[in-house]
């Protein structure tokens, strides 16, 4: 078994794809002609977005994230957390935690995307 993709439910799929391209440098893999589903090329695992309205049509009961009480986190690794953090802020991300060195040697920072999802920007964890 292999993790293929993660789907986040958002108000506006196209705007979300544009944000992630600008904020984190990912390329759009596809956007369905309906505008209700899209994917980013993020490596082995695809990051996907589906509209809240489509999920409601399919009988699901989706909710939007709560910035004050995150229950999900997306993490992106980079060698330069400060630069990536600044780029995300310039694209409209909301700062949650400035870049900081963690006791285990990893540098991490957090932002909130335009939908309220928590995004970690961090260096890779080096297993010794």
Same domain membership, residue 52 and residue 9: yes
**pLDDT computed for residue 44 by the predictor:** 86
Residue 25, pLDDT above cutoff 80? yes
**pLDDT computed for residue 128 by the predictor:** 65
Rg (CA), the chain: 15
Report pLDDT digits (tens) over 52-67: 999 999 999 888 888 7
Q: Residue 52 is encoded by which pair of tokens?
A: 């809240």
Q: Does 67 fall in a domain? A: no
Q: Does 14 fall in a domain? A: yes
Q: Residue 50 is encoded by which pair of tokens?
A: 């589906």
Give CA–CA dist 99/108, Å, rounded.
5
Residue 80, pLDDT above cutoff 90? yes
Q: How many domains, in total, are found in the chain? A: 2
Same domain membership, residue 112 and residue 81: yes
90 three-class SS: helix
Torsional class of 21: left (φ above 0), alpha (ψ -120 to 50), beta (otherwise): alpha
Residue 72, pLDDT above cutoff 90? no
CATH of the domain at 39: 3.10.180.10
Give CA–CA dist 8/106, Å, rounded.
26
Q: Does 128 fall in a domain? A: no
For range 22-47, the mean pLDDT: 95
Residue 108 is part of which domain span? 73-122
For range 9-26, the mean pLDDT: 97
Predicted TM-score (pTM) of this structure: 0.91
């Amino acid at each position: 078994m292999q993790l293929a993709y993660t789907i986040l439910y958002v108000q506006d799929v196209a705007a979300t794809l544009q944000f992630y391209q600008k904020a984190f440098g990912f390329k759009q893999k596809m956007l369905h002609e309906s505008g209700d589903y899209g994917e980013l090329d993020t490596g082995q695992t695809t990051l996907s977005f589906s509209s809240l309205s489509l999920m409601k049509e399919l009988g699901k009961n989706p909710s939007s994230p709560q910035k004050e009480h995150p229950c999900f986190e997306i993490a992106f690794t980079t060698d330069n957390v400060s630069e990536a953090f600044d780029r995300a802020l310039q694209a409209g991300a909301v700062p949650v935690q400035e870049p900081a060195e963690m006791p285990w040697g990893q540098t991490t920072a957090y932002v909130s995307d335009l939908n309220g999802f928590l995004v970690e920007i961090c260096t890779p964890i080096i297993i010794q």
